[in-house]
Amino acid sequence: MDGLVKNLVDLALGHPERGDDRDERDSQPRDERSRSTWSQVVSGGSEDHDRFSSNSDYDTRRRPGGEQEERYGRNEWESGESRPTMRPQKDGGANNDGWETVHKKPSKQHHKVHMDQRNSYKRPLREQEYSSDVDYGVNLEPTDEELADLSKALNKLWELDLNRLVPGKDYEIDCGEGKKVYQKGDMAEGSLFSWLSEDIFSRPTFSRFCSLLDNYNPHEGYKEVVTAEERQEQEAFIEEISRTAPIKYLYKYLLTKGIAPESYQDFKRMMTSLWFDLYGRGGTSSSSSAFEHVFVGEIKQRREQEVSGFHNWIQFYLEEAKGRVDYQGYVFPRRRGDMPDSETQLLTIQFEWNGVLKSVSSTLIGVSPEFEIAIYTLCFYLGGEDNHVELGPYLVNIKCYRLGNKIGSAFPVAD
């Protein structure tokens, strides 16, 4: 993966030329296919409770001051403005159509990151470079004890997450002040992420994961059109994570339980289908997928807009660096004395995404994409709606909601 990282997030919020947009996307009407490309900046109560048989995830909220944010349209997402509050530029703003972004509060991001892996990822799947299958030096065969206890299996996946980041070494967060879910106001002076090592995005599974994040329209109810290139990105991501310890352990576990097929290639196809096949949400067919909801996030179009899903820390980091996410503080934990700090890797937070409030959301900070795919897949096939487990030092309830035979939502909640 030579030269994988030069930069991933452009905090200057400049807009690259659109000459290398995908041909298949250009053939779509602008209001149908409004999404960024790899060459552009990738993106700069109770938890979710996605009970999909009902019509809502959680209570909608209004922004502090009582004024509802203007509804964000598809073209605004495409143009990449980092905050919904805008004002005219004095110099005309050639790169921003005469508008400049007005930030609500200063960002703590000081580094700029670009990506240069676009061309190598466009090659046919068999011509792309993947990580080598290596001996991880650990036993990937599930024990009888793990096969009899889902919690022990999930904790084994935590131990096998060799790509998990180390707080203080790979990144630093500033939790700010705490608040209750119903409290209004911003309790964080700056961003959640103070810094993140650029080397992180040279890790193959992280890089492949990031290539998927611009493949979706964030507005629930809009039918997704998946291009051939996007299907290739999906398959390449599954191929990459399938070379890691968590996914190999997942396969062996599901195989023993009679769920995974004998062929590892067929297992990869099963995983691709589970996470990326489109299904209906919000009354529109082919408008969502497990991956989009859990990792990317969606905006519900109802009487008031709501953020749904969006439980991944990488997506949060990129959108925060871009200025689209406004971190507003952590939600007080249920148990006294468990206040989060810069070392905490299970965090319950409140934030706005493009001006739309997510009143409460839990996320596992610093874990790898393969780890999250593995734990949610295991809970979907062998767990229930509530899965009370231990993940390293954390007592967690992995919530897993079904939408027919698909993953409707999955996320961690601190027990």
Residues annotated as catalytic are 293, 311, 358
Burial of 139 (0-12, 13-18, 19+ CB in 10 A): exposed
User: CA of 55: how far to CAs of 231, 267, 306, 359, in Å?
Assistant: 30, 33, 12, 17
Q: Is 329 helix (H, G, I), strand (E, B) or coil?
A: strand
Contact 43, 318 (CB under 8 A): yes
> What is the Cα–Cα distance from 161 to 371, expressed in whole angstroms?
6
CB 247: neighbour CB atoms within 10 A? 26
The partner residues of 407 in beta bridges, in order of sequence, read: 402
| Cβ contacts of 348 within 8 Å, gap of 6 or more | 47, 330, 331, 333, 360, 361, 362, 413, 414
Query: What are residue 17's phi and psi, to 5 degrees?
Result: -65, 150
